[in-house]
Structure 1
């Protein structure tokens, strides 16, 4: 069966291989992958900066997917062939302090599919059913493959921020996570403003405007200038940082109102320099948000199924054989979210 694999420790270094199909163990479920999408962390794995040198090729990439159960082990009772599912990306140990506290998504010994272990950019995978969530028939496989990134934002906005209805919220970074974040900000009744740069003007910022969001291009105008022009003020109540661009953090410290909050979602590829005295003097709350838990997945499924979160305009479809094009198009910001059809 086909598998998109990282085979070399360098930029790119991927190949579509034919590998042996897995056989599920007694306590596993065999899932046929229908659609799988490229995440920002997959792009890091493809680019291979020092932050991702822990990846040991060869490894099958990917962790965002939708699929259908085709076989179950003899000890599995909760799933049957034909069940439509999505898969959680993190495999936890169940024994460390974080797991015992119920925070299994930040397990001290976690494995992430597609990085620490083989992932889901392939035709079939065998997984423990505790990693599965059933999806309704009304939710398409194409849309369901974005349950995982949507769940990242249900965690970030609903669990790891102080954002309230009526707040003015800056969402920095108009990539897929930023566009989903802006939609989640709307879900809680707050007003998002999506921030990007000139290179986002071809696809990403126009798409944000299609969603009905205000935008700021910081290559053209400073954030305080734009805020003053549109809202008669130079500060926002909260920031959701999704870009991972190191210089933006200092800016967020400056534009958040006293007593406001910043939630960091994007992964920074390089160290960040910032004057944290700003945060102290303004008594800011700084949150970080990583991954998601079971409840976040269930919330994401419901929001996508009910059409509250829209994804159709964000995606472009590729065959596995075109994996290099899919990654390079994402890096060049030609498409917001490449999705493979298996």
Structure 2
């Protein structure tokens, strides 16, 4: 773990941006430590947007936590949501319609995958379904994964989706606010899931032959992962997750590893500030690549690999729900974080998701403002 220096992003034309909560963003230019950039609105009038995916035709799919899947076509948000979603999507607490990704063979099969809080026997739990996108509707929808057991309450559903080059689908889950589940390998909550696109369990999953373990589990000891992406050079899977009061983490995910929650953490109990578990280190439990204390409420994660911002290549970008900024992390060749710059602090409100677009630019969902925004070069 390296002691970080932290920089603030200087606003060049901050007066052009609306300062009141919920006001729409106006295009404006900013100076950061290494790059000048412009923040440009792309889509507005969204209801608690949570995830988004780029379509090959230049359009977008955007999830709304309230339960609607929206389509952007020719730069316009279609008035009618996409039909055909499961009828058990529950907008409860932190749950609702969550992430969305395209099948790697979308051009041929038109399949999309989406995660959501699903109501069922025992309460609520994260589910993943897939269907074929036909115009503004989903057809042949099937549920391919259900996190079990379901439970009451609306906390810690996760959930990001990510395909890897071997065609496997990864699903990040939260512990559902029942922290001991993260160490119980007989339950799904508090783990990273790895499955085939049709829901089958891969033969080489790390817990396939472990007595009493759920075979879909790839890692465990995770509290609530809401950012997940692949490193553009190594192809390795990275996540970020919420800590309690303090202890948000950035992690490199490795098969079968235990990431510690709630046995070890850099956070403390809410309100009392008392220790959780056994401290910050324990043999056999993974340390984060980086952690935040105090918490920034991490959500969304992207590594930049485009040409538009050459000084940012290889940097990680992490959204903050609590403070409304984007943390730009510099990593050295050993993937140690050596610096952090906080971009757009005081401009954004609640950063839910970050992705690099096919145009090499960064796209950001502001959940509170109901906007999708684009970060592009200033000139």
Q: TM-score, normalised by structure 2?
A: 0.27
Higher strand share: 2
Q: Taking structure 1 as the reference length, what is the TM-score of the superposition? A: 0.29
